[in-house]
Each structure stands twice: as C-alpha cells, then as structure tokens.
A and B are shown apart, each in its own frame.
Chain A
C-alpha cells in the first residue's frame, strides 16, 4: 500500500462528496415544508417578517444560488448558522458528537463481543440445534423494530423493576462513569441488536468458508485443538470480509441512531437530525448529512486500508 495510493484514494473522494452534496441539497429542497413552517399558526408573524427571515438566511434566492452560497461557505470552513437555534452549525454538531460516539462505540463493542463468538461457534457447529437457534434469533433480531424493543425494555427495567433510568444521558450533577453506564446500557443494547444479528451471520459464513480451506485441515491434522484452530488460524481470515461490513456499519450505527436517540432522549447527532428535520433547519440538515457522507466515505477508505493490512495477498497499484 503506497503513499500514492492513499493520496489518490483521498483525492478521489472529493468529486464524490461534491456529487453527494448536490443530491442532498436537491432532496432537502424538494422535501415538503420549509424552515418557516414553525410560524404557520402564529398570526403575529407577518408576511413581511417572514420575508425578512427568509432573506436573512438566503432562502429567497433560487436553489442553485443557495447551493453555491452554501458550497462557498463550506470551502472556507463556515458551516453556517442553525435557523432554529441561531448557533453555529459546527458547534452544535460537535456538541452532539461525543454522546453519539459513546453510544455507537459501546453498541459496537457489545456487538463484537457477542457476534464474534456466536458466529464462530455457529460455524463450527453448523447444522446443529445451536446453529439453528442462533439463526432464528438472528433473524428475529434483524426484524425487531427498535422503538418497540426500546419501549419494552423501558417498561421492564424502568417502570416495573425501577433498576435503570428510562431515558437521558446522566443524572443532574453526577455524570460519574457508573452513572453514565446506567443511562447508556439500555440504548446501547437496543442499538446493537441489529448489528449483533447481521455481524454474527457474516462471521459465520466467513468462518464456514475458511474452515473448508486446506490449511485448516492441515492444522487439525497436526493435532491442534479446536479452540486453537478457530482462534489462531481461522479467525483472522474469516474476519476479512466482515471488516468492510463492520467499518461501514459503524457509520450506520451512528447515523442510524436517530430512533434510538429520540426514544432514549440521548443528546446525540441522531436526535439533532430529527429535530432539524422537524424544524426544516436547512443549514443544520446539510451540515449533518455532509458529516454523515464524509464519515461513510472515510469509513470505506479505512476499510480498504484495513483489508490490505489484514490480507497481505491484496495489493493496490
């Protein structure tokens, strides 16, 4: 993997991001409603006042002009101001990024801890009752709606048992590690459900492929135990196809936390996105979506690099 490849790969992402930004801008403009919706029922906000507000945010300009105004600002590092809060878009995003990374990070760790062994055991015992059970549970996990599971957990652990807070980020005036753990455990579990299910399937199929290889048979023939074969010989290679999925899924976890964050009143990016969408806060939506696109493109590049690092046979020119 040469430096030239890395630079080419990163430069190649620029036109991609530009294209994405045009599409996002058009989609936002096509969506029904606009940033001035919140004044719809308030008769004291007059036509003139609405026109003034529109002019202040450039909403009175034609869409292409608005796009280039936005692009110009982004290039010089100005992400604009939220129409809803009047605060800089970048400040708002950075404020919400921390909680989201914590939630997504923990969800990812939970997913890996469960998915890797489950996938491996499932592969090693394929066709068994255990494998069948795991398969059924995986599909159940993939198809369970997040809000339903969240509600169920909240009712069980918060209303019935009173063990965990049903929503929020931390207690007022506390914020210790243990306190935050109590708040994060439910949303992180809910968020990891779908990924646990899909990753264990990926690792299972990767493992099955690898277990059929000659070198595994050789390892067994040499008298190595099952654990050693699975963990030392098979896992690394079985992980290769899963890495790309995991890298891209991490971004999905973060950008897909919209429902989880809203349901659990988690002060993260997902909820900010939801609020901005409800308020048709164009500058904030563009900022968030560009951030998301940037993360997905970056995750793909990183996945490529990881892929190359894990598998020495893969070479890029």
Chain B
C-alpha cells in the first residue's frame, strides 16, 4: 500500500515537474502573459452600465462596448470599429459644394461579432443614432444627434452620415461613445431595458455580473475580434472586477491589503499614503480639465485690460499648485498642451508683482489709505465667486485673494453652492469667478469666449475673436484650423477674458505587474483600451 502510494506520488511529482518545465520553456517565447484578474476600485456609485445614460465617467462601460473611433493617450482619434478615422484627405468626409454641409462615411470592420455571437453591421450604427436621438430616451447627452439629417447604409459595412452642418468636432460625440446592438434593442424601452445592467457590446470584456451598489464583474470575451500584432488572442486578462468603494479611507486600506489592485482617482491629498506599498506604483496622468479665473466685463473696472493684465501678473501658479498637493500642471493657454491645436508661442504672463503694480500705477489706480487702489472714487474691490464646498477650490481662492492684495486689489470671497453657482456663472453674478472646465477630446472654445457663447456668462465680446472662432469651428482643413487656433490663443492671451491657470491630472495607483497600461486623459476614461493589458509574473 505504502509502496503503491509512493509510486503514485512520485509519478505525480514527475508529471508536475515536467509540466512546470514545459511551461517555463514556453514563457520566454511569449511576449505577454494571459490570465489573471484585475480588481479596480471605483470611487463613485456605478449607476448604470449604459454609457449613454450615466452622469459619471463610464470606466467599466468602455471595456464592454466599443465606438467607431476612440481617443488615444494623446487625445487623438484612432479607429476601432471603423477601419479608419474619416478625414477630408482619405475621402471619409466630403463637403457639399457650398461648404455648408458634410457627409461622413465610415467603413466598418467586417469580422466583428457582438457578445452574443451575432455579426456587427452598419444597421447597428444607424440604430444607435435613432435610439439616442429618440426624445423618449433619457440620455446624459444627445450631443451630435441633431447634426445628422439622415444615415444611408449602402451595404452592411458602410455607414454614410448626412450632416446638416460642418462639424469638425463630430468625433467627440455619438458614435465614439459606443454602438448599441439593433437585434437586441429594437422596439424595447431603453430607459428600463436590461441592457442598462448587462449591456451586450463588441468589446474585449463581457458583463458577467452587475450587482448594484457592490461590483461589476467583466469576463474576457474569448471571441474578441482583434488580435495582438504578434498574433496573440486578446484580451490578455481573464477578468476585470470594478468594486464600488466610495470612501477614500477604505479605498486606500483595500489597496494596502491587496483587496484592490488599482484605483484611477486617488484623491490628491492621499497619494503620499500609498508610497511604499509593496507591489503598487503611482502614475500621474493628464486630464482634459483646466482651472481658470474669469472676469465679468459688466464691471467697468474689469473691462479695463490693464487691470486684467495686472491680475494675471499677480498670480503665482506655483503656489496654486502647492495648495493642491503639488499635482496640477501650470498652463498659459486655454488650449491644453496635449492637443495638436496648442500653440507654445501663446503669450505668457509671468508671476511679476512689480510689473502688475507698474501697470496699475500707469493706468492711474492709486493706493488708498487701506492699501487698496482706486481711481475716480472707484475702488478695485471685487466679489470673488467659487463653488463652495470644494476644498481645492477654496484653497486656490484664498491664495488668489492674498496675491491680489499684494498689488492693491481687494477680492472678497462670495462662495455659492450648486444651482446658485451655476446661475451666477451663466448670468454674470460675480466680478471674479474661479472654476474648472472638463472637456472632451475636441472642445469647442466659442462656447466660453464667443459673444454668443452658451457658457459665456461674463459678457465678454470681441468681434475679432468671433471671426476667428467662425474660421476654427467651420473648417475641416487641418492647417487652417491650426492657424485659427493659434490666432485664438494669442487673442485670448492678450485680451484676457480669462486667465488659464492649471491643468488637472489623474492620480492612478496600479500594480507594478500590470503592463501596457497607458493613462488616457479624455472623458472616454483610462479603460477605453484594455485589450492589451497584462499581468507580468
């Protein structure tokens, strides 16, 4: 009996060793390793798995569904379900004879299957447009649906969108966010459909389980249509789990205990706590958001460009960054450096209180008894609005108030909550206002600084700039756009309707073994391209 058992154990041992050796031999030949689960912490409540309905970023959702194109790490569009990004050069975009309309043609990948095995076709793209446009569907954004008059489907793999306008930023809306399966959703009520819990997509991961308030489990799509360059089947990871952990203390504890492997939004003030945690590394990624100080032009003192320039010279961005944990990045243009349209030659107002004082002296603003400047009996005293309850913003406000005081300008905190803040911002209920904008990969700047801009609450109007906006936002010609964007940045920097201060960043904690992860700065989230992520070792 004993002998028999020993022999069996021995045999098993030999078998195991052989397998292990064989595997070890196989590893060096493989570029990446397959398998493994990645546990990701979400700091917000996952409200729905439908990317068109959520008010939050759609981190988990973008691993499941795919769009025709997607922004990459540099906020440039790359093809996904479309074979190429339509442009004027490749014939994907055609302008009407009078240049007032355009037609965009997408050629689709032909070997794509939905998670249920049905083929993906052009009909799904048209259905997505119709479904999102439908007034009965409560969507987070219907942006872009109204710009399309009709969609023609010459065959299963060609989509022709007939626009009623020329829209250079077409890519940042609609089809980029994801395509919905017509064969499953046609005739259903999208507001109450089970699609909102378990969406069927074409992406590298499938929804295995969505438990409200707890987690969503995403399993590898073994039938995924894309392969790696070396021929490997994708995705590499077996499983992605998004766990909802809204308390930042607990998030940190779980990263330390190994219950979570990754978090993409570590609070600025807490990042240092994760230093030295074994197996974790901290990455700082850019984000398409910028902090800005705006002036209200209805106040005649602020309508004086000398005052605005003095304010610009008085603010030390380094201090602003320091009070925000050292994370944001100083900027000088409202176009973030990551964009192709950014022009590094944009004029800059260096921190220079002496220059600020000189500007105000020359313009006739003399210091009064309390150190605050005045001219013709009018004091340089302003109401300074921010959205209350945001610690970072409040710190920034305090710094700016102190720095303005140095040059004889009084700013008084007038913080407003929620609706009141937005009311003030839209209607100009402030003298100075600080806030942050978060944009897509293709922002429209006229909304902020155009005379008729939707988000221009400051009463700013510059006909010269309006002409530049018209050029920038109605042309598809890359060179023309670049030239117009440079012109726009120069005018805004010189005329200063607002001062661009800092760019936001995302602080990401990830396992050291996770490879091929590249932070994505866009609203398509860091999870827009997970297919080649793998765990090493």
Please give the residue numbers on chain A whose beta carbons come within 8 Å of chain B beta carbons, in ascending order: 32-34, 36-47, 49-50, 56, 84-86, 92, 95-96, 147, 151, 154-155, 158-159, 162, 165-169, 172-173, 262-265, 267-268, 271-272, 274-275, 279-280
Contacts and interface: CB of A to CB of B under 8 A. Distances in A.
Contacts of B53: 86
Given A44-B143, A85-B47, A85-B48, A36 B247 contact: no
Contact of A166 (B212, B254, B438, B443): B254
A159 B257 contact: yes
Nearest to B211: A267
A169 B254 CA distance: 14
Contacts of B48: 85-86
B52 to A, nearest CB: 11
Secondary structure class of chain A's binding surface, majority of residues: loop
Contacts of B438: 41-43
Interface of B: 45, 47-48, 53, 55, 138, 141, 143, 191, 196, 209, 211-215, 217, 241, 243-247, 249-250, 253-254, 256-257, 259, 289, 387-389, 417-422, 426, 435-440, 443, 447-448, 454-455
A33 B439 CA distance: 22
Nearest to A36: B419
A39 B437 CA distance: 11
Given A40-B421, A44-B141, A166 B259 contact: yes
B213 A86 contact: no
A265 B447 CA distance: 40
Nearest to B56: A38
Contacts of A86: 47-48, 53, 138, 191, 196
Given A37-B418, A95-B212, A279-B55, 15 more contacts: A33-B418, A40-B435, A43-B447, A84-B47, A86-B48, A95-B213, A147-B249, A151-B249, A158-B257, A166-B250, A166-B259, A167-B253, A168-B259, A172-B217, A267-B214
B357 to A, nearest CB: 34
A265 B211 CA distance: 13
A46 B256 contact: no
Contacts of A37: 418-419
B249 to A, nearest CB: 6
Contacts of A274: 246
A50 B250 CA distance: 34
A172 B208 CA distance: 11
A42 B422 CA distance: 11
Given A96-B213, A158-B257, A275 B422 contact: no
Contacts of A172: 209, 215, 217, 241
Contacts of A46: 454-455
A303 to B, nearest CB: 31
A41 B418 contact: no
A167 B254 contact: yes
Nearest to B46: A85
